[in-house]
């Protein structure tokens, strides 16, 4: 092989490597945007008490854990959401603010770990309460859609 051929092959492989890296970065950025969009849709549905949307966005083996109760599975969480939906529809409960910030995403093939802080204000029985939580979510990609598989929160000051 002459020197020109070696240089051309080197440039060719460098280009392939660079293009592949940029494509991977582009794919990761796209997945991040898709998951962030799913998180926004999920949070809006929760704030509004939209059980149909929430049900469609969790896995069959969903596990929900928070600081005030033991872990519950999908059916129990949906039962809680249905009671909450009735309270929201009747005006007994109103979400005044529901904000997620400090979001960090870590991808593992078709899974993602999401950590964040949630700030919320809820009006119930004419009393307003503010809450702050640290949360961890596990999201799984099923049939090309991100679904929440697990959740845990802890109250913070």
Q: Give pLDDT tens digits for 79-98.
A: 999 999 999 999 999 999 99
Give me the pLDDT at residue 157, please.
Answer: 83
Give the position of tokens 């890296």: 21
- Give me the mean pLDDT over the 119-137 stretch: 94
Q: What is the band of 17 on the pLDDT scale with cuts at 50, 70, 90?
A: very low
Give me the pLDDT at residue 126, please.
Answer: 87
Give me the pLDDT at residue 3, please.
Answer: 53
pLDDT tens, position by position, 42-63 = 999 999 999 999 999 999 999 9
Give me the pLDDT at residue 1, please.
Answer: 57
Whole-Å CA distances, 23 to 26, 32, 33, 104, 133: 5, 14, 15, 22, 36
Give me the pLDDT at residue 99, please.
Answer: 95
Whole-Å CA distances, 153 to 115, 137, 139: 10, 9, 15
* Cα radius of gyration (the chain): 22
Q: How many helices (H) and strands (E) does the chain have?
A: 3, 6
Please check the confidence at residue 26 and state whether its pLDDT lies above 70. no
Give me the pLDDT at residue 125, please.
Answer: 87
E runs forming strands in the chain: 58-66, 69-73, 93-108, 111-124, 127-142, 145-155
Give me the pLDDT at residue 4, please.
Answer: 45
Q: Which residues pair with 86 in a beta bridge?
A: none
Give the position of tokens 């898709």: 34
Please check the confidence at residue 102 and state whether its pLDDT lies above 50. yes
- Give me the mean pLDDT over the 58-75 stretch: 94
């Amino acid at each position: 092989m002459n020197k020109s051929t070696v240089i051309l092959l080197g440039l060719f492989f460098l280009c392939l490597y660079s293009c592949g890296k940029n494509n991977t970065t582009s794919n990761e950025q796209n997945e991040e945007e898709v998951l962030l969009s799913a998180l926004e849709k999920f949070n809006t549905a929760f704030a509004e008490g939209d059980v149909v949307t929430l049900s469609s966005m969790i896995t069959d083996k969903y596990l929900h854990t928070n600081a005030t109760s033991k872990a519950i599975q999908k059916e129990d969480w949906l039962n809680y959401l249905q009671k909450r939906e009735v309270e929201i529809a009747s005006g007994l409960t109103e979400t005044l603010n529901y904000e997620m910030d400090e979001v960090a995403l870590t991808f593992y093939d078709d899974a993602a770990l999401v950590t964040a802080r949630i700030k919320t204000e809820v009006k119930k029985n004419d009393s307003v309460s503010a809450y702050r939580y640290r949360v961890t979510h596990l999201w799984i990609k099923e049939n090309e859609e991100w679904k929440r598989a697990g959740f845990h929160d802890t109250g913070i000051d």
